Structure 1
């Protein structure tokens, strides 16, 4: 496989690349991540089973779109490829600043600037993509409440039911989410889609984002996600709200939006995420 990786980097970068250094950074059941270098040029390489080629291609597409539309430092996609057994994604190597950081105000400004662009008239995306390991359907919808209820919450519940796990009456919860979001007037914004501490950082104080699951949706989805696993510093939210104040009722909608990644984790990892998803659903129904 590594000969194929070297060859495709060489073709993409227009010089002869052959790695002389390789260091594994991450190893999970579905993904291995490496740093490789020829002594001059460094790259990040994600490696998965051949079946994950679509996932890598979707990530590359989102990264290119965020590079085009945002002020963030986004890693360039060098190449995507596969052989008979493996697939891989090669990204620009970025060296992140040490935390804690003092540039959270700029991070908030950059996200608000991205969300303020309302160039798309409908909610969805040109293609389905992935949130982590899970397929993320993105069929275009005119109504946000219908999109989020069906393409996000309903989809996750369906995947759980296919595993024999029923957390609630699926159709009832889909209808409830539609009702709760129906009066919320929002315009489609390009979202990062998986915006939390693990997917953001700073490079020479410039805010950076990576590992996206992008689509056009309510910008509050990114804000809700940023608060789920421990909120970002106050400077981030103050700056964001100064440029693009959140609408009334956000705190109630936040619970709905946070249910989606919780359900996704329940689908992937089960365990305590199933308990958390059940509790979140019960709170919404109340």
Structure 2
């Protein structure tokens, strides 16, 4: 395994690379994460079962897309390759520093600038990819309400149903979400797609993004997720709004957008996420039925 990794790095750098330091990193996923170095060059290596090759390839493609379309510091994926048993990504290692309020403000500014690009006319992406370890369909749609209700909520609900979890009639929820978003005017923006504190960092005060699940959608979906597992500092939101003000009622759609991530966590981890997802669904349907 590690001979193969070292050889891939040597071939890519066109210089010999020998692993002299290897440290396994803790994480909550099934992937194995490592920091490796030869004393001069340091890399982050993500190791997964061979069946996960497509997922790792999609991660590399999303990283490249963020690099092309934003000012964020995004780690380069040096290579994606396989052994007989494993697939692996070799990614640039970044040393993170503790952020200050001005750093978070710059994060908000950079995200606003990325979201302000509306060069893509449709919602979705050129290919399907993954959110965590879950497949994420990205078929192109002209209408945001159709895309999000079907490709996001309906898809996750169907995956849960296949595992024996039935919260409500799937079509009822899809129609409810579609109705809630129907009159919401959206221009497609490139989204990180999995924007929580665990996927952002700062290198010498420069904002950094990683572990993306990119697609073109409503920028509010990215903003909503920044609040799901503990909000970003106020400086982030203040700077974002200064550069690209959000609609006055954007918080009214936050629960709908974050339901997608709750459903995904329910699919991956089950446990209390199943209860959170069920409660969120009941709230959304109640609000729709009561006209709130």
TM-score by length of 1: 0.98
Q: Which residue is 1:4 aligned to?
A: 4
Name which of structure 1's ranges 132-141 and 245-254 shifts more when overlaid on structure 2: 245-254
Match status 1:98 vs 2:104: no
Q: Which residue is 1:19 aligned to?
A: 19
Structure 1 CA distance for aligned equivalents of residues 99 and 57 of structure 2: 30
TM superposition shift of 1:26: 2.4
Unaligned residue ranges in structure 1 (runs of 5+): none
Unaligned residue ranges in structure 2 (runs of 5+): 287-292
Name which of structure 1's ranges 40-49 and 17-26 shifts more when overlaid on structure 2: 17-26
Name which of structure 1's ranges 166-175 and 28-37 shifts more when overlaid on structure 2: 28-37
Q: Which residue is 1:226 aligned to?
A: 226
Structure 1 CA distance for aligned equivalents of residues 220 and 27 of structure 2: 32
After TM superposition, list the pairs within 5 Å mapping 1:59-208 onto structure 2.
Answer: 59-99=59-99, 102-208=102-208
TM superposition shift of 1:252: 1.2
Match status 1:238 vs 2:234: no
Structure 2 CA distance for aligned equivalents of residues 110 and 197 of structure 1: 16
State the secondary structure of the residue aligned to 2:10.
Answer: helix
TM superposition shift of 1:27: 5.3
For residues 95-150 of structure 1, the C-alpha deviation after alignment (integer angstroms, 9 at most, x for no partner) is 00025654111000000000000111100001111100100000000000000000
Structure 2 CA distance for aligned equivalents of residues 203 and 112 of structure 1: 19
Q: Which residue is 2:265 aligned to?
A: 265
Q: Which residue is 1:213 aligned to?
A: 213
Checking the alignment, whether the CA contact within 8 Å between 1:194 and 1:222 is kept in structure 2 is yes
State the secondary structure of the residue aligned to 1:91.
Answer: strand
Structure 2 CA distance for aligned equivalents of residues 100 and 262 of structure 1: 29
Checking the alignment, whether the CA contact within 8 Å between 2:129 and 2:137 is kept in structure 1 is yes
User: Paired residues, what number?
Assistant: 286
For residues 64-116 of structure 1, the C-alpha deviation after alignment (integer angstroms, 9 at most, x for no partner) is 01011100000011000011100000000100002565411100000000000
Structure 2 CA distance for aligned equivalents of residues 271 and 99 of structure 1: 32
Over 3 Å counting, the alpha-carbon distance change for 1:28 and 1:194 in structure 2 is: closer
Checking the alignment, whether the CA contact within 8 Å between 1:63 and 1:77 is kept in structure 2 is yes
Q: Which residue is 2:290 aligned to?
A: none
Structure 2 CA distance for aligned equivalents of residues 114 and 14 of structure 1: 34
State the secondary structure of the residue aligned to 1:39.
Answer: coil
Checking the alignment, whether the CA contact within 8 Å between 1:30 and 1:49 is kept in structure 2 is no
Q: Which residue is 1:35 aligned to?
A: 35
State the secondary structure of the residue aligned to 2:91.
Answer: strand
Name which of structure 1's ranges 98-107 and 49-58 shifts more when overlaid on structure 2: 98-107
Structure 2 CA distance for aligned equivalents of residues 112 and 29 of structure 1: 30
State the secondary structure of the residue aligned to 1:103.
Answer: helix
